[in-house]
Every structure is written in structure tokens, then in C-alpha cells.
Amino acid sequence: MSPKIHYESTDDEWGAQVNHLVCRKCGHEHRSPLLCRGETARCMRCDSVLAKKGWFGRDATFAFAVTGLLLVLPSFLLPFITVRKLGSIQVSFLFTGVRTLWADGMHGLAVWVLLCGGLAPMLLLMTLVGLFVSDWRGWKSVHAQRLAQAVRVVAYWSIPEVQVLAVLIALAKMGHVVQVVLGPGFWCYAALAMMTMLAWRGFDLDCLP
Amino acid sequence: MKPLKSFSNSANITLAASLALAAAIMLIPANMLPIIYTQNAGRIRTDTIFSGIVGLCRQGWWSLGVIVFIASIFIPIFKLASLAWLIFAARQGPGAHARRLTRLYVVLSVIGRWSMLDVFLVAFLSGVVQFGVFAKVEPRSGIIAFAAVVVLTVLANEAFDPRILWGSPASNTPQPSSK
């Protein structure tokens, strides 16, 4: 049931099947080690992380990805934050800032913030869930392998945790001037950020069979 | 020390170097142009990155000032300096510092995205603080230049192949493939 990423295997001197693990940072080749829970495999040459067996296991990574995906719509649509000043109340959503940037003529930046904060995490989670499901069902596809490599680019720009920190910093400063209430959208988004981090970490590093 | 010509992938050094240079150039408008306009109870201020940090510290928000300083000033400069060192070392060919430099590369990959903090901050405040004459926040053009710096430094980092520090031409290394 758990998905495997297959490496090109060769026979070693005892005729047994050996899997190769190639370090992405220095190109050094390794034999795939057997890892226990919580153990990390590091490159012999440059000491960067090759693979890690997480505490939660592969099925948990799938669960994180699914949970994250379910949180996407609530965090986009539910009220993010309610601000009160001098009697007037303003309810903002996750993408209210994006809308303001767009209205002020900063179209490129608006699209970029939307991408980094919302679309990239959503796309990442959808792809991860899709890859898990296709592997579980045994749908052999060339596209799946290419997708697994392409998803790394999406994962790099999926940074909801940075947006959460930015919001917290803004709130710390704003709390003096206006009255602020965190809405359900914020909590869903914070949970989404956590799920995305856990799911991606599990998918990226927990790659040994 | 092998000369650069013996590597089949000298192209990615040039790409990384040009992206890093572009980021360094964009750093000037990013810091000189204002990024945010705040209006609160009649007091109007237009801040650049640095003056915003100074303003935070003057108001007593030292911890916030430090966080924004690290994300918006320290990290971009650190990234550019480190990229310059990595590119310079790669041109020399494999050397004794390869391990240290690879670790630096990994650190850059991790911290790069956190510079987007300031962009999210401006976007959020602009969206949320809209109370007409009582309180208003608006973005200014400097934030676009700053976002460009963040993107360019990340692209420069991704364009740089750390395997060149170890002397293995990237095209000859066996890649994991599927069965």
C-alpha cells in the first residue's frame, strides 16, 4: 500500500540486488541503508541528508496530505480576521490583501502572493494525494514519475508558514491600535501550513523502501 | 585544481551568476524606495524597509524589529554574499572547502523563502487596515523590487548545481530512475 520510489538496482559482488541512492548535492553514490524510525541517512561525502525515516510512517504522510487538502477550502473561504476600530467592523479573508494589491495596480505582486500563499500549497497537496492514490491503485504511469520530480518546484514556493508568521507579526503590532479577533479561516490556514510541511517532509525524505 | 573548461556544465554557473547579479542590482531600489504607507489618526508615514525597522524599534517593538531585520535585510545580503562565494569557489574547481560550501548551499536553500515575510506583511496590512481617514495602510513600489530580489536569489540558488564543487560533471552522474 505504501508508495515506493524505485532506484536503478545493480548486483553487488554477492549477486544480491542492491539499490543505489545518489546524493543530490555532491553526486556520491550509496547503497540504500535500512533505516529504523527516526533515523537519518547522510551522505558519506558531503554530510547532507539523503533520506529520513520519519516517526509517523508513510501512511501518516498520506493522512497529512489529505487533511491539508480538506483544509484548503475552509481557509480560503472562512473569515480570516475581524478588525474593529471606532465602532466600524471589517472582516477580512485570506486573500483580501491580494485583492488590495491588485486594486493598487500591483498585479504581478498580487498574483505572486496568491501563488506562494494559496495556490502553491493547494497544488502541492493535490499532487501528493494524487501520487499516493495512483501508487496505491497501481496505476503505472510515466507521468507519475515526472510529476514527482516537477512537484519539487511547486513545493519550493509553497510557503504558507511564512504568511502565518507575517500575520502574527502584523497582529502583534496592530493589536495596540485596533481590536483584532482571529477568525476560523486563520486557524484552518495555520493547520494547513502545518499539514503541508509535514506532508512534504514525509514525501521528500521518507523515500527508502 | 581543474579549470572550469573540463566541466560540461559551465552554463549553470553563468546562469546562477547572472541571476545573483540581477538580484544584487534590484537590492538597490528595494531598499531605497518606500515599501509601505501608513496613516494612523492623522499621522502619516512612508517607510522603506530600513526606516520601517527603525520605526518598530523606536516604538518599543524590538523583537518584531529584529525579526523583520533578519528576514528583509540580513537574509538577502547573506544569500548574495554566500552565492558570490559559492560561484567563485565553483570557478576554481573542486577544493578543500567543498563540504563546508555544500552545507552553506543547503542552508541557503532553507532560509531563502523566509525573506518573503516582508511581502506578506505589507500585503496583509494593506488588506486589513482600511478604515478610511482613521487608519489606512497602502503598499508602495519598493515592495515589488524587494519581491524581485527574493525570487532572483532563490532562482540563483536553484540554478547553482552544488555537484560542481565536488568535481563531478552533473551530466555524467547516474540519476535515480524508475523501474
Contact A50, A7 (CB under 8 A): no
Interface predicted TM-score (ipTM): 0.85
A118 CB-near residues (< 8 Å, 6+ apart): A76, A94, A95, A160
Residues of chain B positioned with their CB less than 8 A from the CB of A113: 119-120, 123
C-alpha dist (Å) from residue A73 to A63, A97, A186, A188, B161? 17, 18, 12, 9, 37
The 10 Å Cβ neighbour count of residue A32 is: 17
| pLDDT attached to residue B173 | 45
Asked if B162's CB is within 8 angstroms of A117's CB, the reply is no
Inside any domain, residue B170: no
Give the Cα separation of A138 and A149 in Å (integer).
19
Range of the domain at B41: 9-161
The rounded distance, in Å, linking the Cα atoms of B126 and B176 is 46
Mean pLDDT (chain B) is 85
Within a domain: residue B98?
yes
Q: Dump pLDDT digits (tens) for B40-85.
A: 887 899 999 999 999 989 888 899 999 999 999 999 999 999 999 9
CB-CB under 8 Å, A173 with B56: yes
Beta-carbon separation of B99 and A47 below 8 A: yes
Residue A146 touches partner B, C-beta closer than 8 Å: no
State the cell numbers at A165: 508568521
pLDDT of residue A21: 79
Domain tally for chain B? Answer: 1
Q: Which residue has the cell 503590532?
A: A173
Distances (CA, A) of A82 to A103, A182, B120: 21, 6, 18
**Domain membership flag for residue B179:** no
Q: Where are the alpha helices (DSSP H) in chain B?
A: 11-32, 49-58, 62-69, 75-92, 98-111, 117-128, 142-159
Domain for residue B154, yes or no? yes
Q: For residue A44, give the chain B residue with the closest CA.
A: B99
- Digit-by-digit pLDDT tens for chain A (209 residues) are 444 444 444 444 333 444 677 888 888 888 877 778 878 888 888 888 888 877 778 889 999 999 999 999 999 999 999 998 878 888 999 999 999 999 999 999 999 999 999 999 999 999 999 888 888 887 767 777 788 778 888 998 999 999 999 999 999 888 877 889 999 999 999 999 999 999 998 888 776 65
Q: How confident is the model at residue B177 (pLDDT cuts 50, 70, 90)?
A: very low
Is residue B168 in some structural domain?
A: no
A21 touches chain B (CB under 8 A): yes
Whether B34 maps to a domain, the answer reads yes
Contacts of B65 (CB under 8 A, 6+ apart): B53, B54, B56, B57
Asked whether residue B169 is domain-assigned, the answer is no
Predicted confidence at residue B178, as pLDDT, reads 42
The Cα A63–Cα B51 span in angstroms is 45
Inside any domain, residue B54: yes
| Confidence at residue B127, expressed as pLDDT on a 0 to 100 scale | 92
CB atoms B163 and A26 under 8 Å: yes
Q: Which amino acid is at A35?
A: L
Give the minimum alpha-carbon distance from B132 to chain A in angstroms, rounded to a whole number.
11
pTM tops 0.80: yes
Its sign, for the CA torsion B16, B17, B18, B20, is positive
